[in-house]
Chain A
């Protein structure tokens, strides 16, 4: 009886009694969701264009954040801060593009036309290589990203909102808008969509798959950089960052592997869901609901809607 009360009654009573707290929880959840969305977005971009499930996407975020802090440390205090930030960001983007070129040349190209599972294994290997490389180059201490982003807390009618969260949300939102324009309005975007739709047809009109792969992996790297900065500003750049990749998995199952809006909305649902579950259903099973909620939700989706909310419908012909 206690169990059912904790499951079905108490949480809603708390929500009802303290709507401000509920709002705050929802906002917190949305902000965490934005970060999941960013990582999932990187997955979707690569999956659409090259059919590769890039397990290393989370490590990309870590690696990008590490590189950024490392470069900023190396430049020291001699230069004015904004200049340091701009140069470091530029260099990090360059490193991510270079990484994309290397991945295309040494991972994708030799493995072209191989089974998907082989490519997946390759990205698994890639994630360890990158993690090691990041460790080797920049050390394994927890680092602080200081981009001068606002860290104050706003009191909006009794609801506390962290400014950093807002910045993250705005950045992610504009990023998605830029990507949407890039995909729909530019020649390269058209080529990207073409490759995502049909490799053979794309080849037949002279689109170079290799070039497209480099571009897509670069874009995914830059998306990872943004995710890494946001996450790192919140909780420091540390190796656990690479684990958010695992949280992106349920996001993808929810949103569908091929849908960009799906990645965004899936991320938000997971973010909000797990926060609400953690805060209001804490009593259940002695807490830590946040750790498994996303996977349970994914499991439910796999049973009832395996293609996700926005994915291509799976039609099996017999």
Chain B
């Protein structure tokens, strides 16, 4: 994305806008409001509000311990915030539940890869289809008729994801044996298999080499463009963030210190001080 991008060309009342590369960013799909999370005496998130618009790639950045991962955990229901609300697709909740999040279209990956290590790539991706399967428990016990037919249908979706992520040759490999970069990709695949409305990525490129990072960035962009999936990602690599995202929110010590387009954020003095470091000479 070029540096002239701003969000001032807003036409609609709900703040939708069109990016310079021609994607339409819609109304907010997710809105967190005045979220406070405390662990004992420590306040991990201190009154943070922001929204994520339909179709955009939104980034959360900030130094270590800024509360980025905690924020994702709040959004998919792992953490129950002490205060604040989460508005997802118009439903306002004081806290999310992991099951509710998953069934309503929130998928995620983890900073320290959380895969089913003993299972094959294919099986890992198939777990992403769990919630979409309708046939009952008993028909699945005998794995027959309707259940089998359904399994095949879901298998087709999963094959699509496998093609898309170019992981065809590792489909049968237990993921515990895969190299780190590929594990990250399988994890993304599992999230994609859920056909989510919004994809939460917790440092998708952490620990990767340049080539792997480029692959991953490409996948994130393609997911967003082809499937129209909204993406909320946490990333440390500033270059990646600035290239990928439409809007960036910056956290520091649990507070929001900036929110805007990559360029606005880059030139924000508070961000420069907190994140990029203050010059002391």
Once the chains are docked, how many angstroms separate the CA of A99 from the CA of B101? 30
A194 CB contact (under 8 Å) in B98, B103, B119, B141: B119
CB distance from A45 to the nearest CB of B (A): 15
Interface SS of chain A: helix
Interchain Cβ contacts under 8 Å between A and B, 12 examples = A186-B143, A190-B130, A197-B117, A198-B117, A200-B110, A203-B77, A203-B78, A203-B99, A206-B102, A206-B130, A206-B131, A206-B194
Query: Which chain A residue lies CB-closest to B187?
Result: A201
Which residues of B pack against A, CB within 8 Å? Answer: 76-78, 98-99, 101-103, 107-108, 110, 114-119, 123, 126-128, 130-131, 133, 137, 140-141, 143, 147, 151, 190-191, 194
How many A-B contacts at CB < 8 Å in the complex? Answer: 79
A204 touches B98 (CB 8 A): yes
CB distance from B103 to the nearest CB of A (A): 5
Give the 6 A-B residue pairs with the shortest CB-CB distance, closest first: A206-B102, A201-B114, A197-B116, A203-B98, A206-B131, A187-B140
B107 CB contact (under 8 Å) in A187, A193, A204: A204
Asked if A137 lies at the interface with its beta carbon under 8 angstroms from chain B, I say: no
A204 CB contact (under 8 Å) in B76, B119, B140: B76
Query: Which chain A residue lies CB-closest to B103?
Result: A206
B117 touches A207 (CB 8 A): no
A207 touches B130 (CB 8 A): yes
A205 touches B194 (CB 8 A): yes
B127 touches A205 (CB 8 A): yes
The residues of B that contact A203 with a CB separation of less than 8 Å are 77-78, 98-99, 102
The residues of A that contact B123 with a CB separation of less than 8 Å are 190, 193
A187 CB contact (under 8 Å) in B108, B115, B116, B151: B151
B127 touches A194 (CB 8 A): yes
CB distance from A262 to the nearest CB of B (A): 14
A193 CB contact (under 8 Å) in B110, B118, B141: B118
Asked if A191 lies at the interface with its beta carbon under 8 angstroms from chain B, I say: yes
Asked if A317 lies at the interface with its beta carbon under 8 angstroms from chain B, I say: no
Query: Which chain B residue lies CB-closest to A182?
Result: B141
B98 CB contact (under 8 Å) in A188, A190, A191, A206: A206
Asked if A185 lies at the interface with its beta carbon under 8 angstroms from chain B, I say: yes
Which residues of A pack against B, CB within 8 Å? Answer: 182, 185-188, 190-191, 193-194, 196-198, 200-208
The residues of B that contact A202 with a CB separation of less than 8 Å are 116, 127
With A187-B151, A191-B130 known as contacts, the answer to whether A201 contacts B115 (CB < 8 A) is yes
Query: Which chain A residue lies CB-closest to B106?
Result: A204
With A198-B114, A198-B115, A198-B117 known as contacts, the answer to whether A205 contacts B133 (CB < 8 A) is no
Query: Which chain B residue lies CB-closest to A201?
Result: B114
Once the chains are docked, how many angstroms separate the CA of A208 from the CA of B97? 10
The residues of B that contact A191 with a CB separation of less than 8 Å are 127, 130
The residues of B that contact A190 with a CB separation of less than 8 Å are 119, 123, 126-127, 130
A197 touches B107 (CB 8 A): no
New A-B contacts (8) at CB < 8 Å, excluding given A191-B127, A204-B107? A188-B141, A193-B118, A194-B127, A200-B114, A202-B127, A204-B110, A205-B128, A208-B99
Query: Which chain B residue lies CB-closest to A195?
Result: B116
With A186-B143, A194-B119, A200-B78 known as contacts, the answer to whether A207 contacts B114 (CB < 8 A) is no
Once the chains are docked, how many angstroms separate the CA of A197 from the CA of B190? 15
CB distance from B26 to the nearest CB of A (A): 25
A205 touches B131 (CB 8 A): yes
The residues of A that contact B99 with a CB separation of less than 8 Å are 203, 206, 208
The residues of A that contact B117 with a CB separation of less than 8 Å are 197-198
Once the chains are docked, how many angstroms separate the CA of A200 from the CA of B73? 11
Once the chains are docked, how many angstroms separate the CA of A204 from the CA of B118? 18
With A194-B127, A206-B130 known as contacts, the answer to whether A201 contacts B110 (CB < 8 A) is yes
B130 touches A187 (CB 8 A): yes
Once the chains are docked, how many angstroms separate the CA of A197 from the CA of B137? 21
The residues of A that contact B101 with a CB separation of less than 8 Å are 206
